[in-house]
Structure formats: structure tokens, C-alpha cells
């Protein structure tokens, strides 16, 4: 699998930013990606050293749409929480608050 297509997007929420301060970063990844492929993709893309990876499958959500409010099923996904070597960080998760 091509490393450019393993990482779908970064998950940036309040909880993930707290985790990022502890050295753990969250990404949505392709459902078929293995932990080895995720490790290679993160190390190659951001130039960091990965210590551990935890993955979880996110079940598809149902929602109602259209004039008749027909139920539809959204896509399933896979989330990876990547732990980096101490002292390393990914700048993508570095959000600075503007003070007055």
C-alpha cells in the first residue's frame, strides 16, 4: 500500500489536543492499514519516531436524510492513536491560543 494514502486525516478535538500534550496523536486511517504501515507513514510524513500504536474500528453511524427521512448508513472508519518518542511532537497538533 502506498504510504501517501494510509493517513486520511488528523483528529483534532479537545480530547486529542490534551492527548497530544502527552505525546499521543490521533489519526483517521484507511480501514485496511496495518500497524506497520501506519508506523511507516507517520515516520515518513512527519519525521518522528513512533513508540506505540493503538488502533480501533469506528462503527458506521446511521442518519436520516431526504424528504421522506429515509435511514442511511454512513461509512465505517479506523482510528489510530500514535505514541511518539519522548520530546518529539507533530506541529499539526500545536494550536496556540491568542492572548489579549
CATH number for the domain spanning 25: value is 3.30.70.330
**pLDDT grade, residue 97 (50/70/90)?**
low
Q: Give a yes or no: residue 95 inside a domain.
A: no
Q: Which residues contact 1 (CB under 8 A, 6 or more apart)?
A: 30, 32, 33, 37
In eight-state DSSP terms, residue 2 is -
Q: Give a yes or no: residue 98 inside a domain.
A: no
pLDDT tens digits, one per residue of 32-76: 999 999 999 999 999 999 999 999 999 999 999 999 999 999 999
Provide the number of structural domains found in the chain. Answer: 1
Return the SS3 of 56. Answer: strand
Q: Give a yes or no: residue 94 inside a domain.
A: no
CA angle 24, 25, 28 (to 5 degrees): 140
d(CA 94, CA 28): 18
Q: Which of 33, 37, 35, 57 is nearest to 45 (CA)?
A: 37
Contact (Cβ atoms closer than 8 angstroms) between residue 10 and residue 92: yes
d(CA 18, CA 31): 25
Q: Give a yes or no: residue 7 inside a domain.
A: yes
**In degrees rounded to 5, what are phi and psi of residue 14?**
-60, -45
**pLDDT grade, residue 96 (50/70/90)?**
low
pTM: 0.82
Domain membership of residue 24 as a residue range: 3-88
pLDDT of amino acid 4: 80
pLDDT of amino acid 91: 85
Amino acid at each position: 500500500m502506498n504510504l501517501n494514502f494510509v493517513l486520511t486525516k488528523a483528529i483534532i478535538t479537545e480530547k486529542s489536543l490534551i492527548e497530544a500534550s502527552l505525546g499521543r496523536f490521533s489519526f483517521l486511517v484507511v480501514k485496511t492499514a496495518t500497524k506497520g504501515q501506519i508506523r511507516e507513514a507517520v515516520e515518513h510524513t512527519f519525521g518522528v519516531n513512533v513508540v506505540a500504536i493503538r488502533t480501533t474500528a469506528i462503527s458506521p453511524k446511521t442518519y436520516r436524510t431526504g424528504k421522506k427521512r429515509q435511514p442511511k448508513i454512513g461509512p465505517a472508519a479506523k482510528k489510530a492513536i500514535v505514541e511518539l518518542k519522548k520530546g518529539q511532537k507533530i506541529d499539526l497538533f500545536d494550536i496556540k491560543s491568542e492572548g489579549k
